[in-house]
Amino acid sequence: MTDTHFRIEGRAGRITLNRPEALNALTHEQVLDIEKYLLEWRDDDAVELIIIDGEGERAFCAGGDIQDLYETGRAGDFAYGKRFWADEYRLNALIWNYPKPYVAIMHGFVMGGGVGVSALGSHRIVTDGTQVAMPECGIGLIPDVGGSLLLGCAPGRLGEYLGTTAARMGPADAIRATFADTYVPADRLDALKNALCIKGVDIIPMFAQTPEPGPLEALQPKIDEHFGGERARDIINSLVHDDSDFAKNALKALRRNAPLAVACAVETIHRAREFERMEQALALEYRFTSRCMEHGEFLEGVRAAVIDKDRTPKWAVPTIEELPGVKVSHMLQPLGADELKL
């Protein structure tokens, strides 16, 4: 079996990410292959729905495979990264607008790029052990793959909280934050997949159950109180004046992440609330990601988290308080002829 297993079973076009040793991290080649099959199946009357899942127990997809991005960026080749993100975002837009039911089985870790090939679909299934997160700010990126729009749609200020702290969502919290729709117990997933191939998505309610409550519902008032500021600096100022455990933990999480990425994440989430189309969110995210290696903190973030694994990134601007607002404007300004084309 290759890195991605494509086949037709009954009514369903099935996609299985098959890199369990890498937590099914998504490569550039996989992005292009998935796009190819989705386009073929879109026009194939024999395929009534899509089912995407991941091999292994630990992860559906823990994100994009960033090794090539890091190596090319370190070599001064910024064109590869731009091409990768443009191709990935084109796939994200295809999934968001797909005319047939797109069922994602979101088990284990579902992070970053994994969110883009699952939570943008029409039917998002979470289960026992699901952990959804947008942890990009930790490596100098912003929540992308359409994540800015998903975060902007979350109730209250959950979007700013989840996007800047990388807090993980279990099944109930993923549903609450609009990253998923339905909880199905793990021991029912195989039966669900078989039933989907035979009867289609109308069978899903027969498998759905109510998950145990997650922490976000109880934390919502605190989140709305502190994460409603216009800028990241306003969020920091609010948290530092609260002695609660929630504020201390949220502040600690924020301080770990790249200040430039955190500030830009807040701005993109705010703008995304006004968007009417996923393509608008992806275009805004691309303005940041296309610049993140040459003008941002991505290479240092990946070095600290993945390459050297010392967990001590040396950000160019150490704190959000010291970050000039013009840096945010620069990272998100239009790209002119180089704007994302979908």
Give the SS3 label for residue 209. Answer: strand
Catalytic, out of 3, 55, 65, 136: 136
Residue located via tokens 């069922």: 103
Q: Report the C-alpha gap between 112 and 134 in whole angstroms.
A: 5
Q: Report the C-alpha gap between 79 and 158 in whole angstroms.
A: 34
- Is 136 a residue of the active site? yes
Q: Report the C-alpha gap between 89 and 86 in whole angstroms.
A: 5
- Is 76 a residue of the active site? no
Residues 263 and 231 sit within 8 Å (Cβ to Cβ): yes
- Is 21 a residue of the active site? no
Catalytic, out of 54, 113, 170, 214: 113
Q: Report the C-alpha gap between 61 and 255 in whole angstroms.
A: 26
- Is 56 a residue of the active site? no
Residues 13 and 49 sit within 8 Å (Cβ to Cβ): yes
Residues 287 and 333 sit within 8 Å (Cβ to Cβ): yes
Catalytic, out of 88, 144, 160, 173: 144
Residues 101 and 317 sit within 8 Å (Cβ to Cβ): no
Q: Report the C-alpha gap between 156 and 140 in whole angstroms.
A: 25
Catalytic, out of 54, 64, 81, 112: 64
Residues annotated as catalytic (active site), given as ranges: 64, 113, 136, 144
